[in-house]
Structure 1
């Protein structure tokens, strides 16, 4: 027993008995790598309008028992308090392994995970990418949409493809690692492969155009064999319309310079937030702009009229066991209402049916 958690004379609670709700949380954290209470609330309890208090209590309990690693809170926003980030810890990994669940990351070292949490740009970028993946997962829950495959950035980094940027024979080869890659199949139709690029307005024109040339070479080169698919759409999610239009223009300029103007629809740009936009609208409404074009398109083809899934109403969440008396709730455990995307929680979780 860890004496730092249970000092001499401290009153302890009984060990946690991992139930269905706990295992669902562990599976979700394993799948996406890092999650906040707000993100888990949207994914698992979209109709639980309690400002994520239920999820926060259960996360604290799992962290106290060693199933999850609770990382430091992100920078405090202008309004509200900073959200905490959770990743899978050793006991959680063992729990899933016993259940036969493949671990997304076979390597785990707590000190390295804690160090990553201090890298604010990395963590904010990672959580914003997770928001897009959560929107896709919620879409699959509510409609006849399947996600055959999902690879996070962490998984893609293990075996990156190296390419020479298209149209630049003098350039060195570079590794191409999207922020995520996943596939969606609508109503049993063809599979669409999506490479996600999450922009946070940090790249200047020269660097972005180099990335466009590299992504173009990647899509035209060994990508199809490596990913075992014959298609890809590079979906670029931006923080606002000004940045969306800027990247779209730069991309069209670079495609023209490398004689690939016909690939303008390979790159699609949106300023829609995957948190405040319903999953249905995010993927099926005309919110995406091909490079250099003024008319928006949808990321996915329209759904058939009978594609809405009608699941039985979910049962109320089970009660959370009392927390250990030596692990009081953290003062900063509320999710922040003032930051965008992963850090936003206005108390109204997105409806997965888009209604």
Structure 2
């Protein structure tokens, strides 16, 4: 049963009120806490979409949860909140929220979440929010379809071979990549991994890279970070069939969401210059421009692969 008490008066945004607020945890609150545990950082608008509530009602519950200590409002928002005050507030799971979920059976590798939330910087939070923007749009689009469903990374990991499940990060890969006579071992950790399940039980698996335009596309030294280095590693991992041995997948594709058409074009040109034996080449990668994608949704959107072919995810 939900809390029907009158909403609290206006309170400080980034400082918990010293006054006690009449409050009791509801099942809906627990659902909010579970979403924060899954995604790490969420805007209030994300939470409203995920729990299927109005934004006003969601904001009311989040206000109560914040002042009661169950959720945090990362202070890195103060860097931009004065100039974008209408932007939805960003939330993270607080220590009390984690303790509550732990009492209800959820496992946490560590607590002290509030300390980690305080230490999170603005660039990290903004990148995480862009990942969540994409993930929530995928889940909402598939929910509206009804005939197909999203497979969250947690569910995918639960089906991995046991040696992979026992790794600290089951979604990470390490692969040796050769370039100009030099071999470099590269670690790959996708920004997001998800699947789409079809009515016949089949599925498609995707790895996602959210590009913010800050990484150089090409560098001469493979030891330095670049987009080309990353896609070379993906191609090498596919050629070595790491997706089969580590994840038990028959196939996957890499989705790249980038900032503008010019950067997407440069990425595809760099990709076509690569030759990694036994890899699928440019067809492994699908590209989208962020603003265009937001105007549609990832399922309805027409992606373009590295060879310039138009592709739908479904």
RMSD of aligned Cα (Å): 2.9
Q: Aligned pair 1:17/2:35, yes or no?
A: no
Q: Aligned pair 1:244/2:264, yes or no?
A: yes
**1:55-91, Cα deviation, whole Å (9 max, x unpaired):** 2222121111121122122524865445432111222
Q: Residue 214 of structure 1 corresponds to which residue in structure 2?
A: 233
Q: Residue 65 of structure 2 corresponds to which residue in structure 1?
A: 62
Structure-2 change in CA distance of 1:21 and 1:273 (3 Å): farther
Q: How many residues are paired up?
A: 278
Structure-2 change in CA distance of 1:127 and 1:57 (3 Å): same
Q: Aligned pair 1:227/2:247, yes or no?
A: yes
Alignment of 1:140-289 (within 5 A): 140-142=142-144, 143-150=146-153, 158-159=169-170, 160-165=172-177, 170-204=182-216, 205-206=218-219, 207-221=226-240, 222-254=242-274, 256=275, 258-259=276-277, 262-273=280-291, 276-279=294-297, 282-285=298-301, 287-289=302-304
Q: Residue 48 of structure 2 corresponds to which residue in structure 1?
A: 41
Task: Assess if the C-alpha contact under 8 Å between 1:166 and 1:214 holds in 2.
Answer: no
Unaligned runs of 5+ in 1: 301-355
Q: Once the 2 structures are TM-superposed, how far is the Cα of residue 247 of structure 1 from its aligned partner?
A: 1.3
| Aligned counterparts of 1:176 and 1:122: Cα–Cα separation in 2 | 18
| Aligned counterparts of 2:115 and 2:42: Cα–Cα separation in 1 | 18
Which is strand-richer, 1 or 2? 2
Structure-2-length-normalised TM-score: 0.78
Q: Once the 2 structures are TM-superposed, how far is the Cα of residue 149 of structure 1 from its aligned partner?
A: 3.6
| Aligned counterparts of 1:288 and 1:162: Cα–Cα separation in 2 | 28
Q: Once the 2 structures are TM-superposed, how far is the Cα of residue 173 of structure 1 from its aligned partner?
A: 0.5
Say which SS state the counterpart of residue 187 (structure 2) adopts: strand
Task: Assess if the C-alpha contact under 8 Å between 1:71 and 1:84 holds in 2.
Answer: no
Unaligned runs of 5+ in 2: 1-14, 156-164, 220-225
Q: Once the 2 structures are TM-superposed, how far is the Cα of residue 288 of structure 1 from its aligned partner?
A: 0.8
Q: Once the 2 structures are TM-superposed, how far is the Cα of residue 140 of structure 1 from its aligned partner?
A: 3.6
Q: Once the 2 structures are TM-superposed, how far is the Cα of residue 236 of structure 1 from its aligned partner?
A: 0.4
Which is helix-richer, 1 or 2? 2
Q: Residue 115 of structure 1 corresponds to which residue in structure 2?
A: 119
Q: Once the 2 structures are TM-superposed, how far is the Cα of residue 289 of structure 1 from its aligned partner?
A: 0.8
Q: Residue 336 of structure 1 corresponds to which residue in structure 2?
A: none
Task: Assess if the C-alpha contact under 8 Å between 2:235 and 2:280 holds in 1.
Answer: no
Structure-1-length-normalised TM-score: 0.69
Task: Assess if the C-alpha contact under 8 Å between 1:289 and 1:296 holds in 2.
Answer: yes
